[in-house]
Structure 1
Amino acid sequence: MFRRLFTPRWLGALAIALLYAVAAYHLGHWQYGRHEYKVERNALLDAHYRAAPVPVRQVLDDRPVNRSDADWTKVTATGTYHGEQLLVRNRPNNGVYGYEVLAPLHLGDGTTVVVDRGWVENSPRGAAVVPEVSEAPAGEVTVTGWVRPAENSDDKRLPSGQVASVAKPDVEKAWGRTVLDGYIVLDSEVSADGTTPPRPDRLEDPDRSLGPHQAYAFQWWLSMPVGMLLIWLGLRRELRDEQPDRPAKPKKVRIWDEEDY
């Protein structure tokens, strides 16, 4: 069997089987890496999502948010909304597409933080028509929410008052001012008189599913020896068929042939 393996035909099959095993090994590690990322994300959510809020300036500054320890940190901020609200296009919420609503919250130290106040559904008259959005409250407000890292810019040209992502350069260009690097997903908002102003729909809770990545990883790893097994079966069958004393298979006789005799 080993002598037969080292023929051009079977060496080619062996090379393909080895390439597949290597590819399956790396694909399994990639899938398991995705699984580990989601496990770490859930651990971060467990530590941050329902924790007591901390002042926003302890987390947000001019540097990008550290995803490994600051993402989803619950914060509180007090200030006043100054400037128009921006709409972020094509944002899903509970399976429906619409707009996320961004507002600039001016803090007491002179900095501005981006607050994602929630979500509104697309206008029933079509995506080209901007839906009605409740205005940001006037006067001092205290917001509580979760810190998220700024997104990458999509470099799309959109109508005035709209952006394609919550990207720092896009938001700064639209508002004409510098903002802190990162933004707050609004949980609650209270005016100075203790009332809760109207706001867009609340964003859905973060996804906590682990997905099928771990199962896919094990599937890839378990399939690594499949090519070798097929080669072994093929060699075994080929050698068995070449044995001179191997009994010939009986010829099958069709029923209608028997009736002809």
Structure 2
Amino acid sequence: MSRRLITPRWLGALALALLYAVLAFQLGHWQYGRHEFKVERNALLDAHYRADPVPVTDVLSDRPLDRSREDWTRVTATGTYAGPQLLVRNRPNSSVFGYEVLAPLRLSDGRTVVVDRGWVENSDRGAAVAPDVAPAPAGEVTVVGWVRPGETSQRKTLPEGQVASISVPDVERAWGTRVLDGYVVLDTERTAEGVSPPRPDRLEDPDRSLGPHQAYAFQWWMTMPLGLVLIWLGLRRELRDETTERPTKPKKVRIWDEEDY
């Protein structure tokens, strides 16, 4: 069998089997990396999501948000909404598409925080027509929510009052003012009198599923020796077929063949 293996045909098959084993190992490693990323993400959520809120300016500033340490940090901020609300187009919530509603919260030090107040469904007249949205409350409000990093600009031209993503440059251009880098997903909102004003629908809680990545990783790793097994079976069968001393099976006589005699 070893002499047969070093023939050009079987050496080519062996090279393909080894190439597949390396590829399966790399794909399994990539899938397991995706699994570990989601495990780390859930650990971050566990540490931040229900924690006591900290002042928003302790987390958000003019620098980009450090996702590895500050993503989903629970924060609080007090200020007044100063400016029109923006609609972020084509956003899903509970598998239904609509708009997320952004409002500029002006803090006492003059800086502005982007607050994602929630979600509204598309208008009955279609996505091209903006739905009716209740205005942000007047006067001082205290919000509690979770910080999220700004998104990448989609560079789309939309009607006034709409943006394609929660991109800091796009939001600044729409409002004509500078904002802190990142935004706050609203959890609760109270006026100075302790009243919770009407607001858009809450956004869904963040996805905590780990997905099938770990199972896929194990599946790829288990198939690594598949090519070598197939080569061994092929060699074994080829040698068996060439063996002249192998006894032949007696021909089976059928009932109707016996009647012919």
Tell me the equivalent position of 2:135. 135
Distance in 2 separating the partners of 1:27 and 1:210: 17
Q: Which amino acid aligns with 2:152?
A: N
Q: Which amino acid aligns with 2:225?
A: P
CA positional deviation for 1:2: 1.4
Distance in 2 separating the partners of 1:102 and 1:251: 84
1:34 maps onto 2:34 in alignment: yes
- Give CA deviations for 1:116-142 in whole Å, capped at 9, x if unaligned: 000011112211121111111111111
Tell me the equivalent position of 2:173. 173
CA positional deviation for 1:241: 0.7
Q: Which deviates the most, 68-77 or 11-20?
A: 11-20
CA positional deviation for 1:76: 0.3
Distance in 2 separating the partners of 1:256 and 1:80: 99
Which 4+ residue blocks in structure 1 deviate beyond 6 angstroms? 252-261
Q: CA RMSD in A?
A: 1.7
In structure 2, list runs of 5 or more residues that go unmatched. Answer: none
Distance in 2 separating the partners of 1:91 and 1:208: 19
TM-score, normalization: structure 2?
Answer: 0.95
Distance in 1 separating the partners of 2:10 and 2:193: 82
Distance in 2 separating the partners of 1:24 and 1:158: 45
Q: Percent identity?
A: 78
Check 1:192–1:256 CA distance in 2 against 1; reply closer, same or farther (3 A cut): farther
CA positional deviation for 1:30: 0.7
Tell me the equivalent position of 1:156. 156
1:190-209 correspondence runs (5 A):
190-209=190-209
Distance in 2 separating the partners of 1:204 and 1:93: 6
1:104-119 correspondence runs (5 A):
104-119=104-119
CA positional deviation for 1:256: 7.7
Tell me the equivalent position of 1:99. 99
1:242 maps onto 2:216 in alignment: no
Distance in 2 separating the partners of 1:237 and 1:157: 66
Tell me the equivalent position of 2:69. 69
Distance in 2 separating the partners of 1:194 and 1:9: 81
Check 1:160–1:2 CA distance in 2 against 1; reply closer, same or farther (3 A cut): same
Any idea what SS the aligned residue of 1:68 has? helix
Tell me the equivalent position of 1:211. 211
Q: Which deviates the most, 211-220 or 121-130?
A: 121-130
CA positional deviation for 1:108: 0.9
Check 1:240–1:110 CA distance in 2 against 1; reply closer, same or farther (3 A cut): same
Any idea what SS the aligned residue of 1:19 has? helix
Tell me the equivalent position of 1:183. 183
Q: Which deviates the most, 27-36 or 247-256?
A: 247-256
Any idea what SS the aligned residue of 1:143 has? strand
Tell me the equivalent position of 2:228. 228
Any idea what SS the aligned residue of 1:15 has? helix
- Give CA deviations for 1:175-201 in whole Å, capped at 9, x if unaligned: 111111110000000011211111000
Equivalent pairs counted in the alignment come to 261
CA positional deviation for 1:223: 0.7
Any idea what SS the aligned residue of 1:100 has? strand
Distance in 2 separating the partners of 1:91 and 1:178: 24
